[in-house]
Amino acid sequence: MEAKFPKLHAGNYQICSPKNPRYNCIAYANGDERHWWEHPTDAGYGGRYYWPPNIANTLEGWAAIFVAQGYETTNNYGIEAGFEKVAIYVDLVDLSPSHVAKSDGHVWKSKLGGGYDIEHHSLDLLEGDQQDEYGIVGQVLKKATVQ
Amino acid sequence: MPPIDTNCALQHDYRKPREGAYIIALNRTRRSRRISHWDDDTVGAYELASHMTQLIADRRLTHTQSMLETCLHAHIERWKLDTIHWSSITKRLAHPSYLRIIGLARNFTDYEVERALLREFQTDPDHWFAALTAMTGEDPVRPEHDFDEAVDAWLAWGREKGII
């Protein structure tokens, strides 16, 4: 995996699950491990995918999914105890959403496409334009953790 | 992973000369039927040559089939390796190996590509739904199915068709 994400190395991330094609990063960030979330205009190819109604496949659209759940935009890209966060990455070429990481207040967690769930120390470990890197974090949202 | 030899259309290169050879052989056979004074040795030699030609053609076909199967499995592995971390199905399905796999189906005569993808569902499931639909024109997956149910639906389809 270090070959695909050159900033990852032993010590700054760990694998938390086997590879799993059932769900992707945005499904994982929404607590759904049964469906691959894909915008409907992009996913009519015989597979069955989920996408929330009336949500555009843009950074603003992806952010709206979380805003509807009580998240608010923040400029703090770090982990904050007492707050759940999601970070939406965008592709450096077309600025389309490419990935979502989530934090429970202790660590960042990501589902890497159809591959592993991992925990990673910071958001920048998946940023960049090399190999499978996801571009750059376009927006971070947070909400207080429910006690 | 080394580059895949994507020259999977070789079967056509074989087929064309074979088709041409067949026409030549057919014309010669017709001509030979008009020649009544051929002796037994000539007829025997012709039959031996005809037999050898068929053997070579069969061997070429087997070799081509084997090359295609190698190519198919190389593209399956390439696709999985290249796209596993991609979050977009759209991007994953547009990968050249995914499209090539769909294209390879026309070179096989007994559902070999469909069988290979259904076997993938059994051993290392992934998003082969679109490829199977593109190759077969069928879609046994219902709107309410999740990933596992979609896999099961395709496997049931494969068993019903006698493919697996």
A38: left (phi over 0), alpha (psi -120 to 50) or beta: beta
Query: Which residue in B76, B81, B83, B89 has the most chain A C-beta atoms within 10 A of its own C-beta, making it the best mutation to test that interface?
Result: B89
State the nearest Cα–Cα gap between B67 and chain A, in angstroms: 28
Question: B55 or A124: which carries more pLDDT confidence?
Answer: A124
pLDDT in tens, A90-126: 999 999 999 999 999 999 999 999 999 999 999 999 9
Distance CA(B99)–CA(A67), nearest Å, equals 37
Closest CA to A141 of A35, A26, A37: A26
The reported pLDDT for the residue numbered B16 is 47
Q: Mean pLDDT across the stretch B99-108? A: 92
Q: Quick check: helix, strand or coil at residue B64? A: helix
ipTM value: 0.91
Which two structure tokens, joined as six digits, stand for B117?
A: 């993808």
Parts of chain A with a pLDDT under 70: 42-47
For residue B52, the tally of other CB atoms under 10 A from its CB is 10
Closest CA to B127 of A113, A18, A118, A31: A113
Which two structure tokens, joined as six digits, stand for B142?
A: 């219902």
Q: How confident is the model at residue B78 (pLDDT cuts 50, 70, 90)?
A: very high
The reported pLDDT for the residue numbered B90 is 87
Contacts A–B by Cβ distance under 8 A: 82
The reported pLDDT for the residue numbered B57 is 76
Least confident piece of the model among A75-79, B55-59, B123-127: B55-59
The reported pLDDT for the residue numbered B15 is 42
Inter-chain touch B150–A112, beta carbons under 8 Å: no
State the nearest Cα–Cα gap between B154 and chain A, in angstroms: 11
Closest CA to A35 of B10, B46, B146, B59: B146
